[in-house]
Amino acid sequence: MRNDHHNHTKRLPRFIRLLGRLRPLELPVTHRHNSVELFQGGRQFFEALFASIRSAERTILLEYYIIKNDHIGTGVASELVAAVQRGVTVRLIYDYIGCLDTPASYFKNLSKQGVKLLPFNVPSFKRGVYWFDKRDHRKMVIVDGMLAFLGGFNIGDEYAGCVDEKQSFRDLGFSIRGEAVCELEAIFDETWYGERGKAAPLAAAERPRQPDSKSGDAAVNIISGGPRQRRSYIREAFQVNIASAAEEILIATPYFVPGPRIIRSLLRAVRRGVRVRLLLPARSDVPLMLLLGRSSYATLLRGGVEIFEMGREILHAKVMLIDAERTVIGSANLDQRSFHRNFEINCLVDNVRFGGQIRALLLEDIDSSSPVDLDVHERRGMVIRIIERVVGLFGWFL
């Protein structure tokens, strides 16, 4: 990758023009003093998470889509109970639909032991069927208002590498220490109090900074998405960053239903000389999503986008890297549900060191994955094409 000044100055005018065209309702705040650490696998991520919970002194805030009653899930529960017993305030938001398979006794025990719980979007037929389509898909832990853990990991053995490789999820997580954590805490409070019909106590800008808030040189923007927004900040963040690329775009996502706007953005990037590579799953925990994703392969491949499918593990990482220095990473997939109907949390991390780590990891995964050939893809058969079209009719709801 080239890192000369010319390429940076080429990218900036495109970035500004696209911002003007999109006219976002509000631009995210850039937090410039953060230390960001990448966790390349589940074992590493959960070891760091458990250590931070054990060291918590004041508060632990957790927000998760899926929490399982398995080895990792019971381990997290034990650590949270131990934290409460030493005087730490623990608040947990969990998605009701995402945790349907988790026995009610798991959460009852946490509540009994002093963990404060909020089941997100409990079924209520007074709201018709709208409640069923709303999800809290975020994955976030905030410790003492100073350290945050984010990424694609849910709480479960398959995410932590505790199961057979074929059943393991290939995921990424990261931590942030610094100025950006204050905004993440405000987003958590907005959900916590909003679901109870109350106002959050303080906006992010009004909160006092922690003494060690200037802890690094990574610039971080928080991109919070949800169905209450009039337009999709999550999708616009992807679009703006794709449009700003000068040399290379690397994307990994498990559920690929990008829609025409993202597809056009990727094809425009190729036409201006950017190399675009997508890492997508060969196997999925939601097989219908594979069919939906593959229905757009031909258009992308003809336009020069390179596609690779991972078969060794089940891909679950959600990350986009622009020119080896700017990373969009978090809970959101490149699909319509994440754009419009889930509550999501992504971070834009502008840091060469972090970007270099992401690039090395993605290229290693791409090298061990299978490239998708256009000619082979076009011979997939009429029956598969028909199924893709039928599934595509319901793509919005998946």
Choosing from 33, 68, 134, 318, which is the catalytic residue?
Answer: 318
Query: 283, exposed or middle or buried, with CB in 10 Å at 0-12, 13-18, 19+?
Result: middle
Q: Decide if 137 is catalytic.
A: yes
Choosing from 31, 68, 134, 316, which is the catalytic residue?
Answer: 316
CA dist., res. 196 & res. 57, Å (int) = 26
Token reading at 211 = 């003494």
Query: 109, exposed or middle or buried, with CB in 10 Å at 0-12, 13-18, 19+?
Result: middle
Q: Decide if 33 is catalytic.
A: no
Parallel, antiparallel, or unpaired for β 173-178 and 326-330?
A: unpaired
Choosing from 31, 33, 68, 139, which is the catalytic residue?
Answer: 139
Choosing from 31, 68, 134, 137, which is the catalytic residue?
Answer: 137
The answer to whether 36 and 176 are in contact (CB under 8 A) is yes
Q: Decide if 31 is catalytic.
A: no
DSSP assigned state of 349: E
Q: Could you tell me the maximum CA-CA distance found in the chain, to the nearest angstrom?
A: 63
The answer to whether 99 and 69 are in contact (CB under 8 A) is no
The answer to whether 65 and 135 are in contact (CB under 8 A) is yes
Q: Decide if 323 is catalytic.
A: yes
CA dist., res. 36 & res. 109, Å (int) = 34
The residue type found at 69 is N
**Residue written as tokens 């399982």?**
68
Choosing from 323, 335, 350, 365, which is the catalytic residue?
Answer: 323
DSSP assigned state of 295: T
Which parts of the chain fold into alpha helices (H)? 5-22, 42-55, 71-85, 104-112, 180-194, 233-244, 259-271, 287-294, 297-302, 336-340, 352-367, 374-378, 382-392
Q: Decide if 139 is catalytic.
A: yes
Residues marked active site are found at: 137, 139, 144, 316, 318, 323
